[in-house]
Amino acid sequence: MEKRRVLTGITTTGTPHLGNYVGAIRPAIEASRDPNNESFYFLADLHALIKCHDPKRVQESRREIAATWLALGLDTDNSVFYRQSDIPEITELTWLLTCVCAKGLMNRAHAYKAAVQDNEAEGGADPDKGITMGLFSYPILMAADILMFNATDVPVGRDQIQHIEMARDVAGRFNHIYKGQYFKLPEARIEESVAVLNGLDGRKMSKSYNNTIPLFVSEKKLLKLIRKIKTNSLEPGEPKSTEDCTLFQIWQAFANESQIADMRQQYENGIGWGDMKNSLFELVNDHLKEPRGKYEELMNDMGYVEDVMQKGAEKARAEASDLIDRLRKTVGFGSFV
């Protein structure tokens, strides 16, 4: 059987939080252990520039995300782990794709449309105010990420499904215009079983809501943040519902079956919120203790992490350069002689 090629990118503008871990990092690392998969995971730092013009933040986030994935046990011998900006072939492919991509397709992209709508709602004269070409053509860069390595499976959140469809569309256009099967059509993989965690205020945990619990904060800080999670005002002894309860939802994401059943019972018995928060801290901290130590070690050894990233770039470029050579000839850039 042919292996599935799984590829996904992580935009490097933030610090990984519990929601990222449960929703994306943990399933990706698990997928990379499946011998039927080839995994390509990368730091989408070219994408970061769309939202962030602070070089320090971009660099810090790149370091943190790389160290996080390594600390959590990503095996870089059995996967290709790299920084997007280390692969110039991706930027080159972006241009080849840009030149076959209909502008109208990009006009329909959700992220762009949302930005235009915000401008219109404000009633200003220019609907494109503050919108860069980076934001506008973002789906083409993402298509290049995927098509460069002929990925078959792209695990993403629902908000990204449209981008995968656009990648298929652009791939098909290129194949059609240049009369060949240069690109496979990728498929979005939406993990239904993976939890989406809520944050401190009960809304979805997200950097944009400023309600996250960073993955590798100190024990003290972790306890403090868990204690900040919003609850209702039921007293100890009063039975509580597990439904729509942020604490229980996080519990479920870390606990095994019997721990989940046990906690359900404790909710019925009226566990106090303070006790629940202490138990949740113990559970989450037990999971994170070891990788947290590893993370701290790696953050203090960037020489090692840099080496790993360079080896990843080498592996990725070995693949990318074959395809880009072929594509260069395809569009008419071969040697004169």
| Residues at the interface with ligand TRP (CB under 6 A) | 7-9, 11, 44, 47, 142, 145-146, 154, 156, 160
d(CA 248, CA 235): 17
Contacts of 235 (CB under 8 A, 6+ apart): 272
Contacts of 178 (CB under 8 A, 6+ apart): 330, 331
d(CA 227, CA 182): 53
Residue nearest to ligand TRP (CB): 9
CB of 115 to ligand TRP, least distance (A): 15
Q: For residues 23 and 214, which CB has a smaller minimum distance to ligand TRP in the complex?
A: 23
CB of 91 to ligand TRP, least distance (A): 13
**6 in Cβ contact with 151 (< 8 Å):** yes
Q: For residues 169 and 296, which CB has a smaller minimum distance to ligand TRP in the complex?
A: 169
Sole residue written with tokens 């915000």: 118
Q: For residues 9 and 199, which CB has a smaller minimum distance to ligand TRP in the complex?
A: 9
Q: For residues 91 and 232, which CB has a smaller minimum distance to ligand TRP in the complex?
A: 91
**11 in Cβ contact with 44 (< 8 Å):** yes
Q: For residues 14 and 199, which CB has a smaller minimum distance to ligand TRP in the complex?
A: 14
**143 in Cβ contact with 47 (< 8 Å):** no
CB of 80 to ligand TRP, least distance (A): 13
Half-sphere exposure of 241 (CA within 13 A, CB side): 5
d(CA 130, CA 53): 13
**24 in Cβ contact with 44 (< 8 Å):** no
CB of 111 to ligand TRP, least distance (A): 9
Q: CB atoms < 10 A from the CB of 125, how many?
A: 6
Instruction: Give me 162's structure tokens.
Output: 């449209």
CB of 19 to ligand TRP, least distance (A): 13
CB of 250 to ligand TRP, least distance (A): 22
CB of 11 to ligand TRP, least distance (A): 5
d(CA 26, CA 6): 14
Q: For residues 106 and 255, which CB has a smaller minimum distance to ligand TRP in the complex?
A: 106
Q: For residues 7 and 253, which CB has a smaller minimum distance to ligand TRP in the complex?
A: 7
Q: For residues 42 and 267, which CB has a smaller minimum distance to ligand TRP in the complex?
A: 42
CB of 258 to ligand TRP, least distance (A): 34
Q: Which of 158, 224, 142, 164 is nearest to 191 (CA)?
A: 158
For residue 63, give the DSSP letter: H
The DSSP string of 18-34 is HHHIIIIIHHHHHHHT-
Q: Which helix (H) or strand (E) holds 39?
A: strand 37-44
CB of 10 to ligand TRP, least distance (A): 6
